Structure 1
Amino acid sequence: MTARRYAVYFAPRPESRLGQCGSAWLGRDAVTNSSCPQPSLPADVPVDLAVATARPRHYGFHATLKAPFHLHGNCTEAALIRAAQALCTRHEAFSITLEVGELDGFIALLPKSPTNALDHLAAGCVRELDAFRAPLTDTDRRRRDAARLPPRQRALFEQWGYPHVLDAFRFHMTLSERLPDGPRQRLYAVAEAYFEPALRGETTPVDSICLFREATPGGMFSLLQRIDFTPRNAPPHEFV
Structure 2
Amino acid sequence: MTHARFAIYHLPDGALGDLGSAWLGWDARTGTVPDRPEIAGLPAAATSLTSIPMRYGFHATLKAPFRLAEGHSVEDLARRTELVCDRLAPFEMDLDMHCDWGFVMLRPRQQSPALTALEQALVTRLDDLRAPLLPEDRARRRPDQLPEKARAHLDNWGYPFVLDLFNYHLTLSNGLPAPEAQAVQDALAPVFAPLIEVPMQVRSVALVGEADDGRLQLIRDIPLRG
TM interval, short-chain normalised: over 0.9
The list of structure 1 runs, each at least 4 consecutive aligned residues, that deviate by more than 3 angstroms after superposition, is none
Shift of 1:69: 0.3
Partner amino acid, structure 2, of 1:49: A
TM-superposed CA distance for 1:104, in Å, is 2.1
Cα distance in 2 for partners of 1:213, 1:22 equals: 19
Aligned to 1:35: 33
Q: 2: distance between equivalents of 1:45 and 1:121? A: 35
Q: Name the amino acid aligned to 1:106.
A: F
1:221 deviates by: 0.3
Greater mean deviation of Cα atoms: 144-153 or 81-90: 144-153
Q: Could you say what secondary structure the match of 1:33 adopts?
A: coil
Matches of 1:8 and 1:223 in 2, distance apart?
10
For 1:184, give the aligned amino acid: A
User: Which is greater in Rg?
Assistant: 1
1:165 equivalent to 2:162? Answer yes
- After superposition, the C-alpha distances for 1:175-204 in whole angstroms (9 at most, x for unaligned) are 00111111111110111111012112x111
Q: State the alpha-carbon separation in 1 of the partners of residues 203 and 126 from structure 2.
A: 18
2:18 match: secondary structure: helix
Aligned partner (choices 195, 199, 202) of residue 203 of structure 1: 199
**Which among 126, 131, 141 is matched to residue 128 of structure 2?**
131
2:216 counterpart of 1:230: no
Residues 26 and 38, structure 1, Cα contact 8 Å, conserved in 2: yes
**Deviation digits for residues 182-240 of structure 1, max 9, x if unmatched?**
1111110111111012112x111111110010122x52100010000123xxxxxxxxx
CA distance in 2, matches of 1:3, 1:225: 14
What TM-score does the superposition give when structure 2 sets the normalisation length?
Answer: 0.96
Q: Is the 8 A contact 2:111 2:168 kept in 1?
A: no
1:212 maps to which residue? 208
* Cα RMSD, aligned residues only: 1.4
Identity, % of aligned positions: 38
- Matched-pair contact (CA < 8 Å) for 2:3–2:211: no
Please give the secondary structure, in 2, of the residue aligned with 1:110. strand
- Distance in 2 of aligned mates of 1:109 and 1:122: 17
TM-score (norm 1): 0.90
Gaps of 5+ in 2: none
How big is the shift at 1:84? 0.4
What SS class does the counterpart of residue 138 from structure 2 fall into? helix
Unaligned 5+ segments in structure 1 are: 232-240
Instruction: State the SS of the aligned residue for 1:34.
Output: coil
Contact 1:21-1:198 at 8 Å conserved across structures: no
In the alignment, the residues of structure 2 paired with residue 158 and residue 41 of structure 1 have an alpha-carbon distance, to the nearest angstrom, of 41
Partner of 1:53: 50
How many Å apart are 1:3 and its aligned residue?
5.8
How many correspondences in the alignment?
225
